[in-house]
Amino acid sequence: MAFIELDRVSKRYGAFYANRDISFAVEQGRLFGVLGPNGAGKTTLLRMITRILLPDEGTIFFAGEPLAQHHQRRIGYVPEERGLYKNLTVLDNLRYFGQLKGLSSTEATRRALWWLQRMDAHGWEKKKIRELSKGMSQKVQFIVSVLHDPPLLVLDEPFSGLDPLNAQVFLDVIAELRAKGTTILFSTHVMEQVEQLCDDIVLINRGRIVESGSLRQIKARYGIRRLELAFDGDETFLQEFDGISIAERRNGSLSIELSGGIEQAQRIIARALAHGTVRRAECIEPTLREIFIETVRRTETEEVAA
Amino acid sequence: MNTSWLIARHEFLSRVRTKGFIISTLLAPVGLLVVLTLPILVSELAQTQGTHRIAVVDQSPHGLAPILLAKDSSLFFVATEPTSTLRARVLADSLTGYLLIPPDGLERDSVVLFTRGGGGLGLQEAVNDAVREVFRRQRLLARGADTTLLRLAEQKTKIERIKITRERTERDQTALLTIVGYGMSIIVYMLLFIYGGIVMRSVLEEKTNRIVEILASSARPFDIMLGKVLGVGAVGLFQMLLWIVLGVGVSIAVGSTLVSLSGAPTPAGALAHYRAQENDVAVLLLQVPSLSFGHIAAFVFFFLSGYVFYSALFAGIAAAADTEQDIQTLQAPVSIFIVLPMLVIPLVMSTPDAPVAAILSLVPMFSPVLMLMRLFATEVPWWQVLLSVVLMVASIIGAVWIAGRIYRIGILRYGQRPTFRQILRWIAEG
């Protein structure tokens, strides 16, 4: 059963639609990425799922029930911009936000200290937020979202501005939570992370969904676009193929842009074997970055045309 | 409601623990005391004309100079030099001026004061009072009046004021209560601005630091706003309680010191003093007012209701704003209603039963200041008190509802400052 489901959800500001007709489902325990260029409506979408904003049209379901106020206690949220009381200590911040999620003061304190330890941040509890660096306060912000052990975690651009070391701490924790069955929804425009992490994605542009599904399905749909061929011999045979071009040539290795997908690649490899020595041949799937750029461009030209 | 309570408690505890709270609690009474006593102190100081010296040149045959000297020896002295020397001394600033009593001064009832000008009203009044009193006595004595008669003529009539109620007759404390009521109204007026300002700044801080987004992921915006308003209000009440404890403590300490200094129990001494100078406002202030429970309840009710009414609106305004400047612009239409009663309070003080005073005091925006003033200054008909309470409660509900709608939309909007028309649309559409 879908843990989160959106059914034709729209959010409007005057005549402007921040989100329009959004429908998708997030299965329990999956890592779900919301992708889109700046201003696509990612933050508005996440705010509706966390019930900070209410949709103007459509319904959001949380574990099968229409999303209601009491569900907020089962959602953890890291907003895009950090929001902590600068003049209060780390522990005071964590304890207060934990209590707002329904924890007792002692329980919130206990969990806060545990999480600070887990995030390589022990000994910070008495520090004021204003004394922390950006990366440090980001960790505290993350702890705020997981303190009450929510089954749904919503992260808005969680990795922006993290150094590689800290980013790894975050990735490890996210992997742990997921292994425990936590459903995690996050928005980003850093495509490499999506490829590493996500099970499923939606790609939104100008408030609408332009692509959705599991990463595997989407890549399969876009097909094989490129062939990497390490080849010794006469390469004139390549002229037999229509609609291909050599994108790059390096150390006796060719990068060939295809027009006919996997079948074309197979035929090129067969001809190459006949004409020389194939040291290595690899069919390359499009990167998410390429799919992203292509889809956004395509939908924008479609919209202009419409 | 549960989260409102949590938020209110957090607001209260995190504010009460700050150094700023402790300092302001200790310093505010000192500040208020300075504001209240400074005018009295200044006028007291002005009356002692220590540095002013006026030479009396008496050309009359009645020997008026020594009598003037007896009246105020610190100001007057008998001139021994000719007027030309006096004139030079005035110009050289070694003398304030000289008073010339012509030979027929008493008969014509006129004297001449030579100075370099200036010196203020205090100096003029001191000379006027002394000369007029001495001249009046001398005129009467010249006509054969004896001193006993004179004393009789100068005696002030004491007017004892008794208030009649159905149950009993009692000493009328109207003058005293009016002054106390005025003080209370001013305190309410100041607190509305101070605590309203705290709410406003703290809402803006949470908005600009994006803390509100975290709060909104755990609680309804309306509950967040309510929690903040109630929490800061509790800080206000707590601070007032501390002031009362502090005040009672200080007055007991001061009272016992006074007793040991004068050797007489203070209340009796003060009462005797009070009888002696019936109309002296400064003396009235020194009296311990006998406030009824009703007066204190009125003060607490009107402070709290005014606070909730205005601070909710201020919270809405801050939510719509992005910067301090935005707040300055947006708060004007609300703040004006706090200030307006201050302009008519003298009218309400002098004629608390006039229809215009009654009507103005029933307007909910003005009630916290004006109805409170009237409750101290006069017997307000019970139906007016009831009506005022009902209107006040209804307006609080209305104000909180309106503010909640502005707050809900405002807190997540950044960028351009909304126009008043846009804010009205937020209220209408929610």
Structural domains in chain B, sorted by start? 2-42+173-429 (no CATH), 52-152 (3.40.190.10)
Interface mutation target, options A44, A52, A56, chain B, most CBs of B under 10 Å? A52
Select from A73, A86, A99 the Cβ nearest to the Cβ of B6: A99
Identify the weakest region by mean pLDDT among A55-64, A250-259, B288-297: B288-297
Contact B91, B154 (CB under 8 A): no
Q: Which residues of A touch B220 (CB under 8 A)?
A: 69
Contact B321, B327 (CB under 8 A): yes
Interface mutation target, options B7, B202, B205, B214, chain A, most CBs of A under 10 Å? B214
Overall average pLDDT of the A94-116 stretch: 95
Percent of chain A predicted with pLDDT > 70: 100
Select from B7, B209, B217 the Cβ nearest to the Cβ of A52: B217
Contact A50 B10 (CB under 8 A): no
Here the tokens at position A151 are: 């089954």
B223: pLDDT confidence band, cut at 50, 70 and 90? very high
Q: What is the pLDDT of residues B198-220, one digit of tens each?
A: 999 999 999 998 999 999 999 99
Overall average pLDDT of the B33-39 stretch: 74
pTM of the model: 0.78
Burial class of residue B151 in the structure, from the number of CB atoms within 10 Å of its CB (0-12 exposed, 13-18 middle, 19+ buried): exposed
Angstroms from A157 CA to nearest CA on chain B: 15
Contact B7, B215 (CB under 8 A): yes
What's the half-sphere exposure (Cβ side, CA atoms, 13 Å) at B100?
12
Query: Any CB–CB contact under 8 A between A86 and chain B?
Result: yes
Minimum CA–CA partner of B214 in chain A? A83
Select from A69, A86, A97 the Cβ nearest to the Cβ of B209: A86
What is the Cα–Cα distance from B24 to B242, expressed in whole angstroms?
11
For residue B429, pLDDT over 80 is answered with no
What is the Cα–Cα distance from B100 to A219, expressed in whole angstroms?
113
Query: Any CB–CB contact under 8 A between A225 and chain B?
Result: no
Here the tokens at position B405 are: 């709608």
User: What is the reported pLDDT for B283?
Assistant: 44
Contact B6 A85 (CB under 8 A): no
Contact B297, B277 (CB under 8 A): no
Identify the weakest region by mean pLDDT among A52-61, A67-76, B184-193: B184-193
Helix residue ranges, H only, B48-119:
64-71, 83-91, 105-108
CA distances from B335 to A42, B215, B300, B400, B405 (A): 39, 28, 21, 16, 20
Q: Where are the beta strands (DSSP E) in B162-208?
A: 162-164, 169-171
What is the Cα–Cα distance from B391 to B260, expressed in whole angstroms?
51
Select from B6, B10, B209 the Cβ nearest to the Cβ of A83: B209
Angstroms from A78 CA to nearest CA on chain B: 8
For residue B285, pLDDT over 70 is answered with no
Contact A52 B213 (CB under 8 A): yes
**Sheet harboring B112-115: ordered strands across?**
B76-78, B54-58, B97-101, B112-115
User: What is the reported pLDDT for B83?
Assistant: 84
